[in-house]
Chain A
Amino acid sequence: NAGVTQTPKFQVLKTGQSMTLQCAQDMNHNSMYWYRQDPGMGLRLIYYSASEGTTDKGEVPNGYNVSRLNKREFSLRLESAAPSQTSVYFCASSEGQHYSNQPQHFGDGTRLSIL
Chain B
Amino acid sequence: QKEVEQDPGPLSVPEGAIVSLNCTYSNSAFQYFMWYRQYSRKGPELLMYTYSSGNKEDGRFTAQVDKSSKYISLFIRDSQPSDSATYLCAMILFSGGYNKLIFGAGTRLAVHP
**Is there an interface contact between A101 and B51, defined as CB atoms closer than 8 Å?**
yes
Q: Is the interface of A mostly helix, strand, loop or mixed?
A: loop
0/1 interface trace, chain A 81-94, chain B, CB 8 Å (1 if under): 00000000010100
Partner of A43, one of B32, B42, B44, B49: B44
Is the CB of A1 closer than 8 A to any CB of chain B? no
Is the CB of A53 closer than 8 A to any CB of chain B? no
Complex Cα spacing A78 to B105, Å: 24
Is the CB of A103 closer than 8 A to any CB of chain B? yes
User: Quick one: which of A4, A40, A100, A101 has the most chain B CB within 10 A?
Assistant: A101
**Is there an interface contact between A41 and B105, defined as CB atoms closer than 8 Å?**
yes
Is the CB of A27 closer than 8 A to any CB of chain B? no
Q: Collect the chain B residues with CB atoms within 8 Å of residue A101's CB.
A: 32, 51, 92
0/1 interface trace, chain B 50-66, chain A, CB 8 Å (1 if under): 01000000000000000
